[in-house]
């Protein structure tokens, strides 16, 4: 029976230490080979936490599946901030262009509950509320109202 290990690793910088090493060691596979493969596949997500799934079969062969980083990590990368605001309603730490919100929504759409791009973008904007990040120069709740009013229909249609 195949064994499955799911972990969050830093993009391009996974090591044989925790959480990977202790999870993979007992399975009897070459941990360094797995780490090298993970780092190769996650290099584009440098600086972000990336969900990774390693499946090890009975013959000790492994496959690595890389997921999309959490929405918060993608927003932080786009806005170029280290972390969200300690007081989201009082202190704004950045501004996310609506085009970036659409790009993030497209990346994450398969993992979201939304059925269409408009609602997926609204989920991304909703995440900005708790991070203290404005969207297109507006407070996130104002941006949500603008999306509902159709102000961004042209961007959403592209």
Q: Could you read off the pLDDT of 14-43 as tens digits, one per residue?
A: 999 988 989 998 998 999 999 999 999 999
The last residue of one of the domains, among 44, 66, 88, is 66
* DSSP secondary structure code for residue 71 in this structure: H
The last residue of one of the domains, among 66, 85, 108, is 66
The C-alpha atoms of residue 14 and residue 126 are separated, in whole angstroms, by 30
For the entire predicted model, the pTM comes to 0.79
| CATH number, domain with residue 48 | 3.30.1550.10
| pLDDT tens figures, 126-141 | 999 999 999 999 999 9
How many domains is the chain partitioned into structurally?
2
Kindly state whether residues 105 and 134 are assigned to the same domain.
Answer: yes
Burial class (CB in 10 A: 0-12, 13-18, 19+), 27: middle
Q: Quote the domain boundaries for residue 51.
A: 3-66
Unique residue bearing structure tokens 């901030």: 81
**Res. 111: pLDDT tops 90:** no
Pairing verdict, β 62-66 and 94-96: unpaired
Kindly state whether residues 58 and 91 are assigned to the same domain.
Answer: no
> Could you tell me how far CA 142 lies from the centroid of its own chain?
24
């Amino acid at each position: 029976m195949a064994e499955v290990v799911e972990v969050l690793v830093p993009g391009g910088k996974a090591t044989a230490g925790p959480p990977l090493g202790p999870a993979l060691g007992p399975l009897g596979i070459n941990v360094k080979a797995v780490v090298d493969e993970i780092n190769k596949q996650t290099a584009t997500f440098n600086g972000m936490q990336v969900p990774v799934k390693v499946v090890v079969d009975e013959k000790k062969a492994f496959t690595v599946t890389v997921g999309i980083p959490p929405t918060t990590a993608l927003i932080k990368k786009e806005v170029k901030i280290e972390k969200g605001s300690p007081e989201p309603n009082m202190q704004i730490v950045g501004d996310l262009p609506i085009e970036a919100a659409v790009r993030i929504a497209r990346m994450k759409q398969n993992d979201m509950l939304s059925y269409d791009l408009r609602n997926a973008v609204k989920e991304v904007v909703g995440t900005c509320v708790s991070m203290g990040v404005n969207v297109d120069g507006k407070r996130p709740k104002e941006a949500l109202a603008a999306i509902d009013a159709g102000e961004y229909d042209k961007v959403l249609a592209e």
